[in-house]
Chains A and B, each alone.
Chain A
Amino acid sequence: MLERLKCMLVKEFIQALRDPRMRFILFVLPVFQTVVFGYAVNTDVRQVATAIYDLDNSQESRELTAQFVKSGYFKVTEYVDRDSQVRELIDRGKVKAAIRMDRGFGAAIRAGRSTPLQIILDGSDSNTAGIVLNYAGKIAARYSEQLQLQQVTRKGGIPMRTGGVELQSRAWFNDNLESRNFYVPAVIANIVMIITMLLSSMAVVREKEIGTMEQIIVTPIRKFEFILGKTIPFVLIGFLDVALITLVAVFWFEVPIRGSLLLLFGATALFLMSSLGFGLFISTISQTQQQAMMSAFFFIFPAMLLSGFAFPIENMPPAVQWLTYANPLRYYIVIIRSIYLKGVGVAVLWPQMLGLAILGGVILSFAVRRFHKTLS
C-alpha cells in the first residue's frame, strides 16, 4: 500500500513541479490574484469625479461647492454651464455626478427661503450612485443646519436648544471599513478551490489523454492508492497556497489575522474534501483536459457567485439563499473571514465546519464510488 502510494506521490510531484506552466499556476497565480484584489478591487467610494453646474455663481453656491470638495468624497473635475455639457460628460464617463445650482440659489437662501439643489448621477453603476447619493444628502443636510445656525446668530438670537440624536457609528473588526480587509482573505477560498478542483481533475484526465491511464489500470495498483496518489499532492499544494496568500495579506497588505492559523488550516482540510471530491468527479465524466476544464468552470462560477464572496447572500431571493447552503465555498468563506477579522474560534464556527465536513464527506464518497479501475 505505502510503497505504491509513495511512488505515485513521487511521480505526481515531479510532474507538477517540473512543468514551468504548472509552477506558475501553483505559486505565482495565487500571489498575483491576492495583489489584484488587494489593490484593484475596492468598493469604497472616494474622490468621485464631479461636474459643478453653477448657474448662480454666488457666495452661497461657492460655499456649498467647497463643502462637497472638503468632504473628500467628491472631486471637482469640470465646471459647466449648459445641460448638454452635463449629458456629454456623463455619457463619456468623465464624471459620475453633476451638482446643479440654479440662478437665484444664493438670493433665496439670503431671503430665508428653501431652494433646490440638484444632483445628477450616473445610475449605470447603481452601487456607486447609491453611495454617492447618500453622501450628498448628508452634506446638504449639514449645510442647511449651518445656515440656520448662522441666521439665528445673525439676528442676535441664541440658537434654540433642541433635543437631537447624533449617530455615532463604529464598525467592529474593520474600523475604517476597508474593502481590502474583506476581499483579500476570501481570495484564499477562491484560489484553493480553483487550484485543487481544476488541477486535480486535469491531472487524472491527462493520463487518460496520453494513454498512461490504460497502462496504470492494467497494473495491480489499487483504486485507493491511485486516488490518494492523485489527491494528496493537491492537499499539500492547497495548504501551501493558504500560507502564501496569508503571508502576502498580512505582511504586504497589513490585513489583520486575529484568529488561529491552525484553525484556518483545519477548515482548509475540510474544504478540500469537497473541492477534491468535485475534481475527482469531474475526472470520471471527462475524457480530455479541455472537457475537464469546462466542467470545472461549470462548478466554479456558481460556487463563487453564490458564496457571498462579492455579492451578499442576504440580498438574494430566499430560494437562492437556500441553495447556498449546499455550497461548500459559502461556509469556507465565512470561516476564513471570521478567523481573519473577528478572531473567533471553533466555539462560534462549528456550524460552518460541520457543514463543510458533511458536504465534503458526501461529495468525496460519491466521487470515489464513481471512480472505476476499468475502461468504459
Chain B
Amino acid sequence: MELATDTHNGFAVTLRNLEKRFGDFVAVNRVNLDVRKGEIFGFLGPNGAGKSTTIRMLCGILEPTAGSGTVAGFDITRQAEEIKKHIGYMSQRFSLYEDLTVAENIDFYSGIYRIPAARKNARKEWVIEMAGLTEHRNSRTAILSGGWKQRLALGCAILHEPPIIFLDEPTSGVDPISRRNFWDLIYQLAGEGVTVFVTTHYMDEAEYCDRLGLIYRGELIALGTPGELKSRFMAEEVIEVLCDQPQEALEPIEQLAEVKHAALFGRGLHVVAERADDAIPAITARLKELNLPVNRIEQILPSLEDVFVSQIESHDRKEAPQREVAS
C-alpha cells in the first residue's frame, strides 16, 4: 500500500456537510467528522439512524446528495474506485458465497484484490488461522456458525491489508464469546496501525472504541471519547436507586420536582436530575412515605446508555417546536 494515500493531515476519514436524501427523506444530514489514522471509531445509533448509509457513502458505493469527504486521502465522489483499493468493508450480512468452500471464498477475493502471487498463500493461511477454520478449509461456507462466518468475512475483506476497515454492525447475530473474540481481533488490527470505522447499536461495544460519534435521525449529535461523552455531554447528574420494588417506585420518583427523568435499569432505577444533592434527599423521603425500603442510593458516573438517552431526548426537545412551526 502506498503510504501517502492514507494520510490527509493525519486523518483517515474527513467529512464535510455530508448529506444523503432519498426523495424527501433525509437519511444523513450534514455530517462533519474527522477520523484519525489508527483510531477505532465507533458510530453509535439506533436502527435507521443513518449509520449504514454513511458507511456506504464512505466506501464509494452510494453517491452523496451533497457535501464532500475523503477516505484514505481520496475524494468520495470523484475517486470512489481508488478508495475501494484502500479499504476493507464488511456488512452485517457476512456476504460470503455459501455454496463455495472456505478456501474457494478466500481464493476468489484474493483474485479480485489481485494479491501478488508471492503473498497469496501466506494471506490465505493467515485468514484460515485467524478465523479458526483449519479443520474446515474445504467445507462449504453454508455449514459454518455465525461466529465463523463473521471472521471469515472479515478475513476476506482485509486480504489485501487495507489501511482502513469499515465494519457495518459486524457483530449482529453472533454469540457473546464470538463477539469478544472479534473485538480482540479488531484491537490487534488497530495495534498494527489500521483505522477501524465500526457501526454498532450495542452500548458495551461502544465502550471498546477510542472515539464515538452518536448519530440520531441522520444527525451527528455528539462526538468524543467514551469518557468525554459521559462527562461533557451529560449536563445532568445520574443517581442510582436500588430498591426491592423498582417498578412501584418509578412513578412516584418521576413526579418529584427535583427529578427530570427516571428509568428502570437492571434491578434498580437510574434517575436523572439537575442536581443530585437536591434529588437524593427528596427521593429518600418520598420512598420512605410510601414504605418502599431503599437498599442504596448514590450518585454514579453516567453510562453510555444514559448519555445516549439524554442526548436523544434533548435533541427531540429542540426539534419538536421547530417541527410544529413547520407543520
Contacts and interface: CB of A to CB of B under 8 A. Distances in A.
A375 B91 contact: no
Interface in A1-48: 3-4, 6-8, 10-11, 14-15, 18-19
Contacts of A219: 84, 109, 112-113
A55 interface: no
Given A3-B114, A19-B99, A210-B95, A218 B61 contact: yes
Contact of A220 (B84, B90, B100, B156): B84
Nearest to A18: B99
A218 B84 contact: yes
A228 interface: no
B261 interface: no
B97 A11 contact: yes
A220 B89 CA distance: 12
Contacts of A214: 61, 91, 93, 95
A217 interface: yes
A140 interface: no
A221 B61 CA distance: 13
B59 interface: yes
B87 interface: yes
A315 interface: no
B interface bracket (residues with beta carbon within 8 Å of A)? 20 to 34
B175 interface: no
B85 interface: yes
B134 to A, nearest CB: 22
Contacts of B59: 218
A373 B60 CA distance: 10
Nearest to A22: B99
Contact of B63 (A7, A8, A374): A374
Interface string A46-83: 00000000000000000000000000000000000000
B254 to A, nearest CB: 44
Given A212-B96, A214-B61, A375-B62, A14 B113 contact: no
- Candidate in A7, A215, A221 with the most chain B CB atoms within 10 angstroms: A215
Nearest to A1: B114
Nearest to A221: B112
Contacts of B114: 3-4, 220
B81 interface: yes
B91 A211 contact: yes
B116 to A, nearest CB: 11
A216 interface: yes
Contacts of A210: 93, 95, 98
Q: Is the interface of A mostly helix, strand, loop or mixed?
A: helix
B207 interface: no
A218 B87 contact: yes
Contacts of A220: 81, 84-85, 112-114
A5 to B, nearest CB: 9
A8 B109 CA distance: 9
A7 B112 contact: yes
Interface string A197-230: 0000000000000111011111111000000000
Given A3-B111, A217-B61, A212 B95 contact: yes
B100 A7 contact: no
B108 interface: yes
Contacts of A7: 107-108, 111-112
A4 B62 CA distance: 23
B167 to A, nearest CB: 12
B166 to A, nearest CB: 8
Contacts of A11: 97, 100, 104, 108
A370 B232 CA distance: 50
B197 to A, nearest CB: 13
B124 interface: no
Interface in A171-193: none
A117 to B, nearest CB: 68
B61 A375 contact: yes
B185 to A, nearest CB: 19
- Candidate in A6, A10, A219 with the most chain B CB atoms within 10 angstroms: A219
Nearest to A7: B111
Nearest to A225: B112
Contact of B60 (A10, A211, A218): A218
Contact of A216 (B56, B62, B107, B112): B112
A212 B97 contact: yes
B302 to A, nearest CB: 37
A366 to B, nearest CB: 22
- Candidate in A18, A210, A220, A374 with the most chain B CB atoms within 10 angstroms: A220
A374 B99 contact: no
- Candidate in B63, B90, B100, B111 with the most chain A CB atoms within 10 angstroms: B111
Given A4-B111, A10-B107, 20 more contacts: A4-B114, A6-B111, A7-B108, A11-B97, A14-B104, A15-B97, A15-B99, A210-B93, A210-B98, A212-B96, A214-B61, A214-B93, A215-B156, A218-B61, A218-B84, A218-B89, A220-B81, A220-B112, A375-B56, A375-B62
15 contacts: A3-B111, A7-B107, A10-B107, A11-B97, A11-B100, A14-B104, A15-B97, A15-B100, A214-B93, A215-B91, A218-B59, A218-B84, A220-B81, A220-B85, A220-B114
- Name the 10 nearest CB pairs between A and B, nearest first: A7-B111, A211-B93, A215-B95, A211-B95, A218-B89, A212-B95, A220-B84, A220-B85, A219-B112, A218-B59
